[in-house]
A and B are shown apart, each in its own frame.
Chain A
Amino acid sequence: MARQQLETQSDDARPDEALVALINQGDPNAFETLYRRHRDWVVQLAGRIAGDQSLALDVLQETFLYLLRKFPGFQLTCQFRSFLYPAVRNLAIAARVKAARSQADGCVDPDQLEAEPQATAGNSPSERARLVDVLKGLPEPQREVLLLRFVDGFNLDEIAAALEVPVGTVKSRLHHALAALRQDPRTRSFFE
């Protein structure tokens, strides 16, 4: 799974909850472990949403500083990546909007700046290109759920926590997204 590929190598097997408890006591080593464990996922997600590597690095720093400000007294009530996802997403969108404004000096619609999937590997180039096209045409909430599930490797509960919506809504969005892919002639071959 993609999530496992992104997992930073670490010998520290302590769960995120245990590390959070230590950070609440002021342990910088626990913070470093948590940072290194999730850093690559954060920067990859930020890059995907912001569409720029340097912006992704800015978002990475801002995300962990946002997290840092929650200590002491931070209570982790869901999976750590579910907690981080909204912060990364919002910071990445904001970074992209800001960058676009500074370049174009014009009005930018944030809704048009949502993540656009980029194909780098996998099936045939034409198949990938068609898949990317169809994904671009999906409503953003459906595309977001699809990417969280199959690119980031979140399970349904984690997606629900990250998006702060009921699990049923996640299932519904996923169902509609897959139905759209199944019905679209450009991606129908994946289901045959």
Chain B
Amino acid sequence: MKEQPEHHDDAAAQEPIVPARLIQALGALQGPKVSVPADVDDAVLAQARSHLQKVAAPPIVLFPRWLAVAAAVLAGLGLTFLLSNTGPKAPAFAREDVDRNGHVDMLDAFALARKLQAGGVSDRMFDLNGDGVIDQRDIDSIAAYAVKVHKG
């Protein structure tokens, strides 16, 4: 029997009415019932479990080592920055820093000398050698400290 060319004419526009006897006869053309052994089910379902286990647990994304190192360095720098900027810090001056400019140098020795020449120094903090008297020896101490600092 030859197949007629396919066309979509009016007759094919709706599903044709089919006699019930024919439907019943066609429905009976199932072929022999195929029973599925349990081991076939088990094989398919085992494969499914194995495959879907990977689906449920997405792979861990590994960063490149250089990226991890860079992140650690950045974190360290950030931490250092935070720790060094925890708020306004009161200036801490050394006792030798007579002019309070943040540096101990020969100018501090001169400043103490000028103070002594101007009429004496009552502030005990300038008793740098701890002998109870503020005098030339304290000026010398500042000078020695300044030299030491400059060497360091």
CA distance A172 to B2 in the complex (A): 15
If the complex has contacts A60-B40, A172-B8, are A120 and B25 also in contact, measured as CB distance less than 8 A?
no
**Contact check: which of B18, B21, B33, B47 meets A178 at CB < 8 Å?**
B18
B32 lies within 8 A of A47 (CB): yes
Q: Does A64 touch B at the CB level, under 8 Å?
A: yes
B-side interface residues, number (CB < 8 Å)? 47
Q: Does A96 touch B at the CB level, under 8 Å?
A: no
A191 lies within 8 A of B32 (CB): no
A191 lies within 8 A of B48 (CB): no
Q: Which residue of A lies closest to B33 (CB)?
A: A44
B27 lies within 8 A of A150 (CB): yes
If the complex has contacts A28-B48, A32-B45, A171-B15, are A72 and B32 also in contact, measured as CB distance less than 8 A?
no
Q: Which segment, of A11-19, A75-83, A98-106, A122-130, faces chain B?
A: A122-130
Q: Which residue of B lies closest to A142 (CB)?
A: B3
Q: Does A131 touch B at the CB level, under 8 Å?
A: yes
Q: Does B130 touch A at the CB level, under 8 Å?
A: no
Contact with B along A121-141 (1 / 0, CB 8 A): 111000110011001011101
Q: Does A2 touch B at the CB level, under 8 Å?
A: yes
Size bracket, chain A contacts: 35 or more
B55 lies within 8 A of A26 (CB): yes
CA distance A118 to B28 in the complex (A): 9
B25 lies within 8 A of A127 (CB): yes
Q: Does B11 touch A at the CB level, under 8 Å?
A: yes
B14 lies within 8 A of A181 (CB): no
Which residues on A sit within 8 Å (CB–CB) of B22? 150, 181, 187, 190-191
Which residues on B sit within 8 Å (CB–CB) of A174? 12, 15-16
Q: Does B83 touch A at the CB level, under 8 Å?
A: no
If the complex has contacts A53-B34, A120-B28, are A137 and B40 also in contact, measured as CB distance less than 8 A?
no
A-B CB contact pairs (8 Å), 26 listed: A2-B27, A31-B48, A48-B30, A48-B31, A53-B32, A56-B34, A60-B44, A61-B40, A68-B48, A123-B25, A131-B26, A132-B29, A135-B29, A139-B2, A141-B3, A150-B18, A150-B26, A151-B29, A166-B8, A168-B12, A168-B13, A171-B13, A171-B15, A172-B7, A173-B6, A190-B25
Chain B residues in contact with chain A, CB under 8 A?
1-4, 6-9, 11-16, 18-19, 21-34, 36-37, 40-41, 43-45, 47-49, 51-57
What 4 pairs across the A-B complex have the smallest Cβ distances?
A: A26-B56, A122-B28, A139-B3, A150-B26
